[in-house]
Structure 1
Amino acid sequence: MNYPIPATPEEIFALRELPIDEELIATAVAGIVKIARQQGQSLEELQAEVLQDDSLLDGLQRKWLSNLLTQAWQMIT
């Protein structure tokens, strides 16, 4: 990846200034997993946050993102 994996929420938010592409999205997902682990969250807690109803994503999108986070969680050690 050309982007370093974010280690803080501020670094995640800073990604919003960059052009969106697949690599940037992968970097953001890896950062979310990394930060969740640093904060002692379990995968189940992270999934619960993603699956909460909000106005940004519909149910299918939240489920897709939850599955993506699960894959990233398993790949990132």
Structure 2
Amino acid sequence: MNYPIPSSPQEMIALRQQPVSDELVATALAGVIKIARSRQQSLEDLKAEVLADDSVLNGEQRLWLSELVTQAWQFLP
């Protein structure tokens, strides 16, 4: 199943209605990057948000996700 890359927070929220799959996670990641760029955020800004302490991910998971965001940022147009 192909998902369009979200371009708004509302479209990101709508993804919650879909079953979780690798493709859905990749689409969500691409959407986060697309939205960040549309808001003129830098990669460093986005990484700071990912690395911010929260109750969802532990430090190791946030670091891994930050590295994934960096790789995706470089490959997405």
Q: TM-score, normalised by structure 2?
A: 0.97
Q: Which moved more, 1:1-10 or 1:32-41?
A: 1-10
Identity of aligned residues (%): 62
Question: Which structure 2 residue ranges, 5 or more long, are not aligned?
Answer: none
Residue equivalent to 2:41: 41
Deviation at 1:20, TM superposition (A): 0.0
- Number of residue-to-residue matches in the alignment: 77
Alignment RMSD (CA, Å): 0.9
Q: Matched residues in 1 for 2:49 and 2:7: separation?
A: 19
Residue equivalent to 1:12: 12
Residue equivalent to 2:28: 28
Residue equivalent to 1:51: 51
Moved over 4 A (4+): none
Residue equivalent to 1:73: 73
Deviation at 1:12, TM superposition (A): 0.6
Deviation at 1:42, TM superposition (A): 0.1
Question: Which structure 1 residue ranges, 5 or more long, are not aligned?
Answer: none
